[in-house]
Amino acid sequence: MPSLYGQQPGPLSWAGSEALRLYLNVRYGGRIKPLSLKAQPSALHERCVQLQAGDSETSNIHEIGLLLSSIRMGYGHHRIARAVITWADDMHPALLDLMSVDAPQSGLIRDMEGLYSLFSRLSFDIGGPMQALWNAILLRGTIDTLAISTDLAKQYSPLFSSLQKDLLCMASYPFAAQMAVAAGFTKVLNLIPDNHPQYYLLAPGARNVVQTESSCARFQKMGVPADEIECAGHFVPRSIAENVAIDAQHRIERRRRNAPLRCLLSLGGTGAQAGFLRKLIERILPAIDEGRLFLMINCGEHADFASELISLLEAKKIPFTEVDSSEGLSRFGRWHAISSDEPTHAVTIFRFTEHGLSVRATDELIRCVDLLVTRPAQVAYFPVPKVLLRRLADHEIDSSNYLVELDECDAECSRPEQAADLILSMLPEDGPLIRRNEGIQRRSETGLYLGARRAVEMARSL
């Protein structure tokens, strides 16, 4: 195999590539075949279409100006794609989720996502040896891993065969960027999630873009040329980024008048923290009952979790309402923005059947709340004070440390009781929220939260 970033892949990369090739042959019938695509509406954003398998007669993709290539692994990768779309809606963007394409060719990617979700849940619930194993897997992003991934990308490149090779491509998953490069695309931006540099996150031949200066510097120390890696800032949707300062000011004023604390809890795409969140919610129910706390809980597509919460709230006689549609989400956002009226119910449960709507809900609800409760995932880079829950795996620790250094949060809470107590400590006027919102206002003046806009500008310049 050819050298990558000045390093020669070892025998492991060749063996891994051959094993994957054999697996593809046995399970999916060998060579990946070209795929015709058609556009259909996307729940992720109203100005974006989503590409699905079609045929040459139904293809309607000629108007696409920007391809957002991604893979649905949890919510974070699509969250990055959506942030970019909000800054590029004049470019006729189209999302190509390589896992959701209804074609046999996506089988391996679906297998990978299934294993990722399963091991994330087992690691979080069991801990110990299971967590150590999962950490070891996710931290092994070596040059051999990159070599295996780029070799596999060549086999998958026919999935891009119906698209023009001079089409601008921005990818929010490294394998998707590697496939675009292997398919002959000449204008590819690889939007790198996380803050822990690993070789397999890179796409040789693409322009790689990260969210933090520290990540950029560490990639360069790993041998990535300075002209192949660049820091843009946090990937944040346009409506949030353009209203950072005013939303932070409203949050400051709410604390000064001792308004109820609005908290957003979002269950991630894997559903790994469902049990953790349930125990957390049980512990803060008294404050909700007293009217000091409002909860907005995005259950996403996790119907069982939503049903458990409804049973809990009914048993405790806590008033709640549900939102399960795009129209309901938009209406809630208009009526209960951080500058507007309090919600009419102590708890609002958001539940959806569409992946795109589940991602969009958390994005839009950020502008309705004082506090975000999340693990150190992609949404934690959004400019809002937050309580960090225990990470799913150790590759997230660099994001956690970075956000603590910014003073947007405290260290991760390893137990539900610790997280609940930390939320309750935010209620008094002399808590840390005023200071943290003032810090967010200062950082907004530096352009830190304009990473998605800068990434689009980089793409336009290719």
pLDDT, tens only, 404-453: 999 999 999 999 999 999 999 999 888 899 999 999 999 999 999 999 99
pLDDT (average), residues 107-121: 56
70/207 same-domain check? yes
* Shared-domain flag, residues 398 and 456: no
Q: Is residue 179 part of a domain?
A: yes
In a domain, 5, yes or no: no
Give yes or no: residues 202 and 295 share one domain.
Answer: no
Please provide residue 351's backbone torsions phi and psi, each rounded to the nearest 5 degrees: -140, 140
Same domain assignment for residues 284 and 160: no
Same domain, 379 and 349: yes
Same domain? For 87 and 170 the reply is: yes
One domain, residues 229 and 243: no
pLDDT band at residue 134 under the 50/70/90 scheme: very low
* 390 in any annotated domain: yes
Model confidence band, residue 72 (pLDDT cutoffs 50, 70, 90): confident
SS3 54: coil
CATH code of the domain in which 260 resides: 3.40.50.2000
* Same-domain check for residues 290 and 432: yes
pTM: 0.92
Residue 285 pLDDT exceeds 50: yes
Sheet holding 188-191, edge to edge: 37-41, 49-53, 93-97, 66-70, 168-171, 188-191, 207-210, 229-231
Q: Region of 181 please: left (phi>0), alpha (psi -120 to 50) or beta.
A: alpha
pLDDT at position 132 over 70: no
DSSP-derived 3-state class of residue 99: coil
- If asked whether residues 20 and 76 sit together in one domain, one would say yes
Instruction: Assess if residue 2 is contained within a domain.
Output: no
Mean pLDDT of 159-177: 93
In a domain, 3, yes or no: no
124 with 224, same domain: the answer is yes
Give me the number of domains the chain comprises.
2
Q: Which residue, 335, 367, 342, is CA-closest to 264? A: 367
- The DSSP code for 106 is G
Confidence of residue 245 (pLDDT cuts 50, 70, 90): very high
Task: Assess if residue 6 is contained within a domain.
Answer: no
- Give the span between the Cα atoms of 276 and 125, in whole angstroms: 9
Residue 353 resides in a domain: yes
Q: Which domain holds residue 191?
A: 11-233+452-460
Domain membership of residue 380 (yes or no) is: yes
Q: Provide the pLDDT confidence category of residue 207 given band limits of 50, 70 and 90.
A: very high
